């Protein structure tokens, strides 16, 4: 059974999509089988994989709203071992239609568990909102990764994420764990340093030890249509996402060991 990870933060521009793409590719490099699902109507992850949103027949919108099997919506990526379910601009409508349905929170969870999917990790790239789609992603996930910048307003916005996590745990997914990931870090920036220390004090082991620093290569890679690990394999961004992948693999292994002990 694949390990399902939601990448979410209600703030835009905090590197959700960059993290989904780069972490997915780093995990794929280790020989693991990866599925990315683009749940953002803006379709940045879809575009970064060279697929034009709105030009593909089957999308995550069909999986969520029409019960289409995930296997029917798969597209290849340039990374061996990594596939994607693309998004569609129609997902904007899903955000409105979903909540009317009973048990809508489980639509993704059910879709992911209905088929025997041959993946080690499934990464869900969420839209920058706390609507029905994000809620269904958090209900499906074992782990929520919350990318955040070391900026005052970003750190503040984490309060809302924590409230949402408590609600999901109470109502639909008691097992949901989370890890905060500091992204777009500038080590020379004093404010970043202070906020990073505050986040460490507040969240302790709820924070990934790995941080992702600013690297302009990460801005270029989606334009080229390749993940950073292929576009600039030796860049700092590549290295840090690989370290993150290893930290994640170790964490998941620890969870499995403690469950079977």
Cα separation of the two ends of the chain: 19
Other CB atoms closer than 10 Å to residue 62's CB: what's the count? 19
* Residue 58 interacts with which of ligand ADP, Mg ion, none, CB < 5 to 8 Å by class: none
Residue 249, interface with ligand ADP (CB under 6 A)? no
According to DSSP, the β-strands at 82-85 and 75-76 are antiparallel
Other CB atoms closer than 10 Å to residue 213's CB: what's the count? 16
Q: Is there a contact between 2 and 119 (Cβ–Cβ < 8 Å)?
A: yes
* Residue 131 interacts with which of ligand ADP, Mg ion, none, CB < 5 to 8 Å by class: none
**Encoding tokens for residue 118?**
């041959």
CA distance 157 to 50: 32
Residue 109, interface with ligand ADP (CB under 6 A)? no
Closer residue to Mg ion (CB): 134 or 173: 134
Closer residue to Mg ion (CB): 41 or 226: 41
Judged by CB under 6 A, the residue of 218, 244, 245, 248 near ligand ADP is: 218
In this structure, the dihedral spanned by the alpha carbons of residues 207, 212, 214 and 216, taken in order and rounded to 10 degrees, is: -150
Closer residue to ligand ADP (CB): 97 or 219: 219
Residue 13, interface with ligand ADP (CB under 6 A)? yes
Residue 16, interface with Mg ion (CB under 5 A)? yes
Judged by CB under 6 A, the residue of 3, 4, 10, 18 near ligand ADP is: 18
Q: Using CB under 6 A, which residues numbered 126 to 165 contact ligand ADP?
A: 128
Under 8 Å CB-to-CB from 201, ≥6 apart: which residues?
Answer: none
> Which residues in this chain contact ligand ADP in the complex, by CB under 6 A?
12-18, 44, 128, 183-184, 212, 214-216, 218-219, 237
């Amino acid at each position: 059974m694949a390990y399902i990870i939601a990448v979410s933060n209600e703030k835009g521009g905090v590197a959700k999509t960059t993290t989904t793409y780069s972490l997915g590719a780093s995990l794929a490099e280790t020989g693991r089988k990866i599925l990315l699902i683009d749940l953002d109507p803006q379709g940045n992850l879809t575009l970064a994989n060279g697929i034009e949103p709105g030009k593909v027949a089957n999308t995550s919108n069909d999986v969520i709203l029409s019960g289409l099997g995930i296997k029917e919506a798969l597209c290849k990526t340039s990374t061996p071992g990594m596939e994607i379910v693309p998004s569609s601009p129609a997902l904007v409508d899903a955000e409105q239609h979903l909540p009317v349905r009973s048990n809508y929170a489980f639509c993704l969870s059910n879709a992911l568990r209905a088929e025997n999917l041959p993946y080690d990790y499934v990464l869900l790239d969420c839209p920058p909102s706390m609507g029905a789609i994000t809620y269904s992603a958090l209900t499906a996930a074992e782990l929520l990764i919350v990318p955040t910048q070391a900026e005052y307003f970003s750190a503040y916005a984490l309060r809302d994420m924590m409230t949402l996590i408590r609600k999901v745990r109470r109502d639909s997914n008691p097992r949901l764990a989370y890890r905060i990931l500091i992204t777009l870090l500038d080590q020379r920036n004093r404010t970043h340093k202070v906020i990073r220390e505050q986040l460490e004090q507040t969240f302790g082991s709820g924070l990934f030890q790995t941080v992702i620093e600013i690297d302009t290569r990460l801005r270029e890679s989606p334009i080229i249509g390749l993940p950073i690990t292929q576009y600039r394999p030796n860049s700092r961004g590549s290295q840090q996402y690989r370290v993150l992948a290893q930290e994640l693999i170790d964490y998941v292994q620890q969870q499995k060991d403690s469950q079977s002990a």
